[in-house]
Structure 1
Amino acid sequence: MQMRSDTWVVIPAFNEAPVIGGVVAGVRTLFPYVLVVDDASTDNTAALARAAGAYTATHPLNLGQGAALQTGFEAALARGARYVVTFDADGQHDPSDAAAMVDRAREEDLAFVLGSRFRDGAHAQVGSVKRAMLRLGALIARLRTGMALTDTHNGLRVIRADALAHVHLTHSRMAHASQIVSQLAACGLPGAEHPVTISYTDYSRAKGQPLLNSVNIAVDLALGGR
């Protein structure tokens, strides 16, 4: 915990009351500073996050995940974060993966470490349609940025403050994932992918709506993450 006191974990959340307390509690076993950005939830997501030990910021209107992340980035940097972790609110990420990614960034002097479901050692049960869209996204990202990525739509990321200063998200919804990759590539600082485990629960599958997500990824690719 003490080694990661320079790290803030940013969790964008919208109507995650059933799980947010457990997600925050799990993250706080390894990271002292957790910020949940409540994107105008209609349930008690923010109150439950605070009860579990998180700081919270709340949007008065639902603006989308990209906007929630940007709010979190600005807040974390203002509080002196050296590293910022992005972490999904639905419980599919493993806090130990996030800790390993921060430790790797520190040890290898990397400005960013991006989680991947497809690197050796990773584990995720991804449907065939979504897998195809994710691979297409990785191919397009490689052609556009020169970065040899395998998974451009993974919500688990570690970004160092100097790299995060180059990230300014204007795509509020799904296209923010490609925009983050493009802006990190443009900053010219070193980065890497890291294998992570994604645990798809009944809850996360219901929230994620896999077919709709595949459509959203297609829209993201068309927008180009600029």
Structure 2
Amino acid sequence: MKRVENVAFVVPVYNEAQVIGGVIKEILEHCPVVVCVNDGSKDTSASEIVKAGGYLVDHPINMGQGAALQTGIEFARLLPGVEKFVTFDADGQHRVDDALAMLELLDTADVDIVLGSRFRGRTEGMSTLKKAVLKMAVRFTNFTSGVKLTDAHNGLRAFNRHVADTIEITAPDMTHASEIIELISRNGYTYVEAPVTIDYTEYSVQKGQPVLNAVNIAVDTLLRKVSG
């Protein structure tokens, strides 16, 4: 069984008590460090994180996934021996095998960040409407950021210490995905995409963001561009 020893998985968590323990245990089979940011959950996510063996970092209130990722990256940077980082969703959509392949690519392609792409890989259970909205989001983000990708809002990423030390995610909510791509351009990070599989289970679909949020993300992105 393949293991990586200098890697931290960063997992934002909000009301994921039902599944987070299993996600952590699967990661720990391959990597000793899982940093979970409990983002003001109202369920028993915190105790499930501790029980499963993850590092627990608490936000006393819900601050949004972008803020949770930034907190988790900052915490993981302080852990001894950690040189690579993976952002990983808590709802079971991502596959650890994909993350391990991305970590290999991070080295062999000699880039700063590897971005998972479901459109270079495959999806299980994604609706036609969801696919259409995500495709439109890709075109919009490519236009506004100047970074050319096939998947703009995939939470599975692997990156090196340079990115972890210099990235500053200021968008607290789901617009952070667009902001990260803008930061790739602004900070000059080298990047490549990797094919991944996204599993849309009944649970993850229920927990997922409404399609209308794509409009909110687009508006927030434009406002950020204007103010910036």
Provide TM-score, normalisation by structure 2: 0.91
1:86 alignment partner in structure 2: 87
Secondary structure, aligned partner of 1:197: strand
- Residue 112 of structure 1 corresponds to 113
Opposite residue 143 of structure 1, the aligned amino acid is F
Q: CA deviation at 1:123?
A: 3.1
Identity %: 41
- SS in structure 1 at match of 2:122: coil
Work out whether residues 88 and 155 of structure 1, in 8 Å CA contact, stay in contact via their aligned partners in 2.
yes
Contact 2:3 2:31 (8 Å CA) reproduced: no
- Superposition deviation, residue 208 in structure 1: 1.1
Query: Taking structure 1 as the reference length, what is the TM-score of the superposition?
Result: 0.92
- Superposition pairs for residues 32-47 of structure 1, below 5 Å? 32-47=32-47
- For the residues of structure 1 that align with 2:173 and 2:109, how far apart are their CA atoms? 32
Separation in 2, partners of 1:115, 1:124: 15
Map of 2:216 onto structure 1: 219
Structure 1: gaps (5+ residues): none
User: Residue in 1 aligned with 2:65?
Assistant: 65
SS at match of 2:62: coil
- 1:60-97 deviation per Cα after TM superposition (whole angstroms, max 9, x unaligned): 11111111101001111122532111100011110110
On the 8 A contact 1:166/1:183 being kept in 2, the answer is no
Q: Deviations over 1:133-175 (max 9, x none)?
A: 2112211222233322011111111121212333211111111
Give 3-state SS (helix, strand or coil) of 1:74's partner: helix
Q: Assess if the C-alpha contact under 8 Å between 1:174 and 1:217 holds in 2.
A: no
Specify the alignment match of 2:145 in structure 1: 145
Equivalents in 1 of 2:79, 2:87: separation in Å?
A: 16
What whole-Å deviation, never above 9, does each CA across 1:91-132 have from its counterpart, x for those lacking one? 11101101110111012211000111101x433432222222
Q: 1 CA distance for matches of 2:158 and 2:207?
A: 24
SS at match of 2:212: helix
Question: Does structure 1 conserve the Cα–Cα contact (< 8 Å) formed by 2:10 and 2:85?
Answer: yes
Structure 2 unpaired stretches of 5+: none
- Cα RMSD between the aligned structures? 1.7
